[in-house]
Amino acid sequence: MVNKLNKVLQNMIVQIEQNRTEILKINSQDVALCSKADIALYDRLILQDKNLDAMIQSLKNVILKEVPFGKSIYSYRHDNGLLIENKTVPFGTVLIIYESRPDVTVEATAIALKSGNKILLKGGKEARKTNLFLHQCWLNALELSDMDNNWIVYLDLNRHKFQEFLEDSSNSIDLIIPRGGIALLEYVQKIARCPVITSGRGNNFLYISEEGDLQMAKKIIIASKISKISACNALDKVLINKKISNIFKEELLEVLRNEGVEVIEEANDTLLCEEFLDLKILVLRVKDMMTAINMINKFSGRHSATIITKNANEAQQFFELVDCAAVYHNASTRFTDGFQFGLGAEMAISTSKLHHRGPLGIEHLVTNKWQIKGHGQVR
């Protein structure tokens, strides 16, 4: 089975290489219908050679990973001779719902396959042509590997038909991973008949302690905001300890504005909850670290948060009290990513607490099953 799965991934690499020009051509048709005014959508949608290279590298990374199923988690020999084992097994069929990012069609499918799962893909309408072509590449790779095409299914359904699909109890789905905004996540959680791992919402915070290195803070804030505004790990909120000189704040705001970033200095609950996905940032002064932690835990997407401080004890307290999937000390939130965390690739970044939190790699797309071997024992 492992060899067959790797063969599919290897054939998909060939498919991307052979169809590189066609993929970019079809993607340009999707891009032509997208308004450049929506910076985040445009950034997520457009494919260039470097994006195809990244897809291929993800596939190579996944090939090198061990399959996560069939591993023993726990083993116990009962007094009566029963061998009781708990082993990892695939979920079965995974549905992923995502918007505007064609690379998900490749990366998520690779992870699902290598972990022994079938996958249902529901991409956004803005990337429809690109996704359908990439799906056909996957079907070609399956056929060349002598595997059934029901391993990878693309749900080419409009919103109404897709809602009907989700509500149909006869559809066999074992796990749903929605990647998107609050409305999508809440809708899927409400209607789902199987486990849901929520993903996609960032709204990440950075707190600068009175003991923080201010030049480091400035560097991290700028890079975390402007390097990729469409990323869910981008920075949206900066909280500055009130004991820090206001001169630093003014210097920071000037640099941000010079980079084309809109700076907001007053906030209400709506703004504090909002994931901007734009050249926009909220900068506030706060009383102390506990005030910052309480704001993060109340308003963030529970994705990523970071503290800038020279005080290791303060950083440790921040680690323990902030309720996010990834918590940083003196580093950018932009590292919350499966590849950056050494997972090779990622299915999504889970902000759920069950059954996994943070980047979902191959290792996390399994559940478990008890297997008990006996020779006639009864209780």
Instruction: State pLDDT tens for residues 132-169.
Output: 999 999 999 999 999 999 999 999 999 899 989 998 88
Q: What is the pTM of this model?
A: 0.91
pLDDT in tens, 308-362: 999 999 999 999 999 999 999 999 999 999 999 998 889 999 998 888 999 999 9
Classified by CATH at the fold level, domain 2-200+348-373 comes out as Aldehyde Dehydrogenase; Chain A, domain 1 (3.40.605)
Locate the domains of the chain by residue range.
2-200+348-373, 204-335
> Which residue type, as a one-letter code, is found at position 95?
L
Work out the percent of the chain whose per-residue pLDDT is above 90: 85
Quote the pLDDT of residue 184: 86
pLDDT digits (tens, 9 = 90+) for 14-24: 999 999 999 99
β-strand pairing of 349-350 with 358-359: antiparallel
Which CATH superfamily hosts domain 204-335?
Answer: Aldehyde Dehydrogenase; Chain A, domain 2 (3.40.309.10)
Q: What CA–CA distance (Å, rounded) separates 150 from 39?
A: 35
Give residue 249's pLDDT.
95
Average pLDDT of the chain? 95
The pLDDT tens digits of the residues spanning 271-296 come to: 999 999 999 999 999 999 999 999 99
Evaluate if residue 36 carries a pLDDT over 90. no
What is the dihedral sign for C-alpha 176, 180, 186, 188? Answer: negative
